[in-house]
């Protein structure tokens, strides 16, 4: 550790990464270095339920903690439990966990939610929706969201090696929970991928593909390579970004010899063709950046991946202080060669209000982290506005702070909108789109307004959403058929 300069609101201190000792957890006490480094061992030993969590923690945690998890799974959870040993080992990382330490831990707060974490007065915002970004409405082939003019999101699969409690794609990703039946893909993976490639072939204006899911680490590598080779054959594609939280949650996957060799092949092809092949990961807390994570990121860079970038999510109780964000950014940039790229505001999915912060708080956070990191490594804090897309949090057009409603505009049409008749498409550019702060963050007068207006406003929003969804679905059908 090296000391920083005192007298600043944030004091930079370089901290050496340390892999937490998994042997402090009773269930992993006898696990060898070789087993820990083995991706297959990590997958087999994931915790998927309370019985398996008890197997890891033994008698360290009170029954009340497990009852709290169980109540959450039954009544609130939008994601099921799936925690690789590597992820569990980053909770309460350098001491023997106790119930109170686990309850206070930032990684536990978002990867293993408990019922008592959730807000009681407004657990969900009245306008929260399952597919809060309306990605499904913008599918131009199954799993292919064309929201921006020149880029698409390709959801190749609906699973991940780990499930995050706040997952934006809770509509599609993961196993159903008692509260949420997941949407299912209908096409076989090979047909879905063929349809995506076909769309991209017919639409050379798309130059950038985010290859996601789910998490591409759950795709057999040879299948992922076939799809990526297909993308690399298209002259129009100039940027490919692979989305994988597993770089942090299961770095062992990205260190497997077959994966390293395969990525070297793909990176060589990408370089030959002048395509930027990058990895985007998702780390939300500095304690999750361990030597194994750094090794996985650096290995990907060594084999020729152009960049490894982090897209975190702002989550209250996890990282919504300037100190937590800067500690994370410095750990990523200095120790793991991962570029801090974005922090997203948590999307408006059901039961997420205890994690969300207001746009005003996000603006304050952006201000507070400026000037410490190099400009290129200073993350932008963005709001993913429904039907608009990412906007820097200072880009809003108008803001009603009392009711927590921000208004945003857009300067492009989604892929489908661009094909709609002129007048309808023009309306989209003239329109203002709304985003809502968590009601708990509002002054008393704003909270009272929501208590009075919820039912009527909810009905109006549902009708608006229904109308837009119907128009979008009709346009998609016309295009696909
Ligand atoms: S890794 Fe990404 S897609 Fe998977 S559960 Fe977490 S947030 Fe969702």
Considering only CA atoms, which residue is closest to atom 3 of ligand 1? 214
Residue 459 confidence (pLDDT) above 90:
no
Query: In the structure, what pLDDT confidence band is assigned to residue 460 with cuts at 50, 70 and 90?
Result: low
Within 13 A of 5's CA, how many CA atoms are on the CB side? 3
Residue 476 confidence (pLDDT) above 50:
no
Residue 417 confidence (pLDDT) above 90:
no
pLDDT for position 475: 47
Residue 2 confidence (pLDDT) above 80:
no
80/78 Cα distance (integer angstroms): 7
Within 6 Å (CB) of ligand 1, which residues are found? 160, 163-164, 167, 169, 173, 214-215, 245, 282
Query: In the structure, what pLDDT confidence band is assigned to residue 472 with cuts at 50, 70 and 90?
Result: very low
Distance from the alpha carbon of residue 167 to the mean position of ligand 1, in angstroms? 5
Residues 394-401, mean pLDDT to the nearest whole number:
97
pLDDT for position 317: 97
C-alpha to C-alpha distances, 227 to 220, 269, 290, 375, nearest whole angstrom: 11, 13, 31, 34
Residues 283-292, mean pLDDT to the nearest whole number:
98
Residue 198 confidence (pLDDT) above 80:
yes
pLDDT for position 329: 98
Q: Locate tokens 């969804």: which residue?
A: 469
Q: Pocket of ligand 1, candidates 46, 159, 173, 284: which has the most ligand atoms within 8 Å of its Cβ, to mutate?
A: 173
150/444 Cα distance (integer angstroms): 43
Considering only CA atoms, which residue is closest to atom 7 of ligand 1? 167
Distance from the alpha carbon of residue 434 to the mean position of ligand 1, in angstroms? 25
Residue 481 confidence (pLDDT) above 60:
no
- First and final C-alpha spacing in the chain: 61
> What ligand 1 atom has the least distance to the C-alpha of 244?
1
Query: In the structure, what pLDDT confidence band is assigned to residue 3 with cuts at 50, 70 and 90?
Result: low
pLDDT for position 469: 46
> What ligand 1 atom has the least distance to the C-alpha of 245?
1
Q: What is the pLDDT of residues 369-383, one digit of tens each?
A: 999 999 999 999 999
Distance from the alpha carbon of residue 214 to the mean position of ligand 1, in angstroms? 6
pTM to 2 decimal places: 0.93
* The token pair that represents 114 in the structure block: 């408990």
Distance from the alpha carbon of residue 437 to the mean position of ligand 1, in angstroms? 23
Distance from the alpha carbon of residue 161 to the mean position of ligand 1, in angstroms? 9
Considering only CA atoms, which residue is closest to atom 1 of ligand 1? 245
Distance from the alpha carbon of residue 215 to the mean position of ligand 1, in angstroms? 7
Three-state SS string across the chain, please? CECCCCCCCCCCCECCCCCCCHHHCHHHCCCCHHHHCCHHHHHHCCECCHHHHHHHHCCCCCHHHHHHHHHHHHHCCCCCCCECHHHHCCCCCCCCCCHHHHHHCHHHHHHCCCHHHCCCCCCCCCCCCCCCCCCHHHEEECCEECCCCCEEEEECCCCCCCCCCCCCCCCCCCCCCCCCCCCCCCCCHHHHHHHHHHHHHHCCCCCEEEEECCCHHHCCHHHHHHHHHHHHCCCCCCEEEEECCHHHHCHHHHCCHHHHHHHHHHHHHHHHCCCEEEEEECCCCHHHCCHHHHHHHHHHHHCCCCEEEEEEEECCCCCCCHHHHHHHHHHHHHHHCCEEEEEEECCCCCCCCCCCCCHHHHHHHHHHHCCCCCHHHCCEEEEEECCCEEEECCCCCEEECCCCEEEECCCCCCCCHHHCCHHHHHHHHHCCEEEECCHHHCCHHHHHHHHHHHHHHHHHHHHHHHHHHHHHHHHHHHHHC
pLDDT, mean over the chain: 93
Q: What is the pLDDT of residues 308-344, one digit of tens each?
A: 999 999 999 999 999 999 999 999 999 999 999 999 9
pLDDT above 90 coverage of the chain, percent: 86
Q: What is the pLDDT of residues 173-193, one digit of tens each?
A: 999 999 999 999 999 999 999
Q: What is the pLDDT of residues 127-146, one digit of tens each?
A: 999 988 888 889 999 999 99
- The answer to whether 363 and 394 have CB atoms below 8 angstroms apart is yes
Distance from the alpha carbon of residue 117 to the mean position of ligand 1, in angstroms? 20
Residues 260-270, mean pLDDT to the nearest whole number:
98
Q: What is the pLDDT of residues 77-115, one digit of tens each?
A: 999 999 999 999 999 999 999 999 999 999 999 999 999
Q: What is the pLDDT of residues 148-179, one digit of tens each?
A: 999 999 999 999 999 999 999 999 999 999 99
Q: Which of 242-256, 424-438, 457-471 has the highest mean pLDDT?
A: 242-256
Q: Give all domains of the chain, ordered by start, each with its CATH number.
A: 22-117 (no CATH), 136-480 (3.20.20.70)
pLDDT for position 35: 98
């Amino acid at each position: 550790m090296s000391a920083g300069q005192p007298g600043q609101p944030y004091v930079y201190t370089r901290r050496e990464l340390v892999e937490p000792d998994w042997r402090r957890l009773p269930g992993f006490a006898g696990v060898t270095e070789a087993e820990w480094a083995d991706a297959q061992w990590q997958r087999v030993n994931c915790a998927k339920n309370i019985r398996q969590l008890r197997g890891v923690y033994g008698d360290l945690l009170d029954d009340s903690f497990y009852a709290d998890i169980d109540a959450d799974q039954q009544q609130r959870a939008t994601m099921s439990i799936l925690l690789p040993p590597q992820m569990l080992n980053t909770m309460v990382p350098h001491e023997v966990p106790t119930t109170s330490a686990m309850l206070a831990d930032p990684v536990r707060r978002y990867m293993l939610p408990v019922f008592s974490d959730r807000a009681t007065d407004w657990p969900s915002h009245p306008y929260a929706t399952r597919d809060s970004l309306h990605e499904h409405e913008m599918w131009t082939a199954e799993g292919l969201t064309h929201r921006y003019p020149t880029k698409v999101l390709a959801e190749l699969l609906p699973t991940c090696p780990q499930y995050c409690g706040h997952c934006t794609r809770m509509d599609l990703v993961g196993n159903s929970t008692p509260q949420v039946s997941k949407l299912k893909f209908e096409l076989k993976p090979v047909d879905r991928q063929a349809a995506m490639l076909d769309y991209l072939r017919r639409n050379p204006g798309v130059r950038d593909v985010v290859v996601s899911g789910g998490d591409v680490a759950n795709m057999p590598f040879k299948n992922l390579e076939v799809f990526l080779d297909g993308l690399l054959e298209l002259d129009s594609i100039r940027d490919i970004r692979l989305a994988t939280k597993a770089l942090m949650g299961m770095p062992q996957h990205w260190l497997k010899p077959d994966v390293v060799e395969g990525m070297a092949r793909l990176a060589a092809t990408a370089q030959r063709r002048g395509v930027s092949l990058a990895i985007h990961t998702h780390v939300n807390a500095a304690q999750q950046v361990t030597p194994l994570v750094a090794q996985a990121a650096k290995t990907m860079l060594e084999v020729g991946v152009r960049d490894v970038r982090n897209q975190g999510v702002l989550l209250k109780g996890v990282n919504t202080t300037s100190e937590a964000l800067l500690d994370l950014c410095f750990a990523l940039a200095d120790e793991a060669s991962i570029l801090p790229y974005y922090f997203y505001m948590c999307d408006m999915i059901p039961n997420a209000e205890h994690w969300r912060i207001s746009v005003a708080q996000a603006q304050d956070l952006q201000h507070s982290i400026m000037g410490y990191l190099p400009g290129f490594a200073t993350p932008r804090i963005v709001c993913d506005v429904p039907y608009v897309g990412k906007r820097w949090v200072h880009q809003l057009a108008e803001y009603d702070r009392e009711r927590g409603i921000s208004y945003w505009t857009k300067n492009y049409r989604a892929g489908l909108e661009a094909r709609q008749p002129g007048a309808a498409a023009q309306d989209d550019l003239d329109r203002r789109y709304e985003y809502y702060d968590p009601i708990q963050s509002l002054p008393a007068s704003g909270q009272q307004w929501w208590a009075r207006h919820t039912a009527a406003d909810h009905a109006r929003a549902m009708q608006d959403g229904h109308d837009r969804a119907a128009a979008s679905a009709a346009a998609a059908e016309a295009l696909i058929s």
